[in-house]
Amino acid sequence: MQLLDLGLSRDEESLVSIRLNLKALRALAPSGMLPAALRGLAGGPLRSAVKPEGNDAEGFDLRGQLAQASEAEQERLLVDLVRKETAAVLGYESPTDVELELSFLEQGLDSLAAVQLRHRLGPITGLHLPGRVIFDHPTPAALARHLRTEMSVPGVQPGQGRPQNGSGPERDDRPSNTLGQLHAQAVRAGRADEIMALITGLAEFRPKFSSQSELEKAPALVPISRGPVTPGLICFPSFVGRSGPQEYMRFAGEFRGVRRLLVAPAPGFADGEPLAATIDALVGAHAANIQKCVNGAPFVLAGHSSGAVVAHAVATHLEAIGTPPAAVVVMDPYAPERTDINTKFSAAVNDRMLADIEQQQEEEEAWLFATAHYFSLDWSSLSRTAIPTLLVRAQELIGARPGEDWERLSWAFSTRVTVTDVPGDHFTMMADHAETTARAVNEWLAGLGKGDS
């Protein structure tokens, strides 16, 4: 309030009262990742990327050190590197503040910071690190082990074999007519449906599993928040774009220190992962993964958009085998039968996927196949249940004209539904308004034992 009073007494046209982490800004300034509006606010001396002690930025030879080190020393070098670079991105006082076995997401690394960390590690290691690397190896210890494995590949030296992030060819110099670029061209030409039909057909040639026994390793559940209050939440990402834990980063803020929140990624969105051949295969893999993780503790399944449909399908499967969740939360769920909504929704989804392609520096294509494949499955025949269900609806319809009348979403697959509306549209309810959405969910969960409707 004092800052607002001070602002009213000044003559400048535009003033913003904002709390800044100056240490974090100063740490990020050398990477060039700061928006222009914040560069002048960083102030102070600029730091270069943190290297293991005793090495300067110019002469640091990580591979040379690893070649002369024992396995234990190699692991220590890479753990130290990951902790120091993470500390630099997060603005921590010391690398020891970065906990080895706590997930990056729980330690405050959001999607932008994850990109920054990847861009810092790429040139140092000489590896081409994919966009999902922080989410696929979610703890500093796991990421260090992954780097050691990748750097042990014979004949791959810095700048050779795998381009370094930030030092390879510019985007315009890369091979043209990749699947991602063809998709982008089709979207711009208004032919998104045609290209997605082709990608769906191509996805039939991707490796698939038809049962849990055929899946060698399901993607691990990724913890985003911890807390003592039960039940905890297990969230399912949507099938749109680069599906993953990052979709729930802002939503999870309300639960940190309160409830445990994990994300269950769908198999097939990362290179090398097989797709689930059917809905039953996907649901079975998720259910087996969850049963191992919760170990008898109460839990709630939740999902946004198409992730909500998955949450419900997994919940009814677990109910059928005797281990039902305490509740289900469906947030603005994907409704295949609602053509009035899906026309507007599809256009917005195509724009999101186009942005995803244009913002990435690598040509990973697994996620395009996964998006097309999972949307091609028939999600209209879900089982009904009496599990307490919260339907969270966005107050705005994407693409709706002012005053346009439209039928609100309903959820016919549960006989015990509570409905609440939150600010924003289908996307902003989990971004700009994520805190409000999460608060509505948390309040409903708090009253579960006192009546759920």
Express each pLDDT in 96-147 by its tens digit: 888 888 888 878 777 677 888 888 898 888 888 877 788 778 889 999 999 9
Interior/surface letters 64-100, b for 16+ CB within 10 angstroms, e for the rest: eebeeeeeeebbebbbbbbbbbbbbbbbbeebeebee
What is the model's pLDDT at position 335? Answer: 78
Task: Determine contact, residues 411/333, Cβ cutoff 8 Å.
Answer: yes
| Residue percentage of the chain with pLDDT more than 70 | 75
Task: Determine contact, residues 248/224, Cβ cutoff 8 Å.
Answer: yes
Structural tokens at position 376: 């091609």
- What's the mean pLDDT in 143-170? 57
- Distance in angstroms (rounded) separating the CA atoms of residues 36 and 34: 6
Which residue did the predictor score with more confidence, 12 or 268? 268
Structural tokens at position 197: 């039909």
Q: Which of 395, 423, 399 is CA-nearest to residue 409?
A: 395
Q: Which residues pair with 27 in a beta bridge?
A: none
- pLDDT tens-digit series, residues 286-345: 999 999 999 889 999 999 999 999 999 999 999 999 999 999 999 999 876 665 555 555
The HSE-up count of residue 15 (CA atoms within 13 Å, CB side) is 12
For the chain, domains (ranges, CATH) are: 23-151 (1.10.1200.10), 212-450 (3.40.50.1820)
Q: Picking from 38-52, 133-147, 430-444, which range would have the lowest pLDDT averaged per residue?
A: 38-52
Q: How far is CA 345 from CA 199, 268, 317, 332, 401, in A?
A: 19, 23, 28, 11, 14
- pLDDT tens-digit series, residues 233-248: 999 999 987 778 888 9
How many residues would you count in the chain?
A: 453
pLDDT band of 214, cuts 50, 70, 90? confident
Q: What is the 3-state secondary structure (H, E, C) of 127-157?
A: CCCCCCHHHHCCCHHHHHHHHHHHHCCCCCC
Q: Picking from 141-150, 258-267, 394-403, which range would have the lowest pLDDT averaged per residue?
A: 394-403
Q: Measure the CA dihedral 255/261/267/268, to 10°.
A: 20
| Cβ neighbours, 10 Å, residue 24 | 18
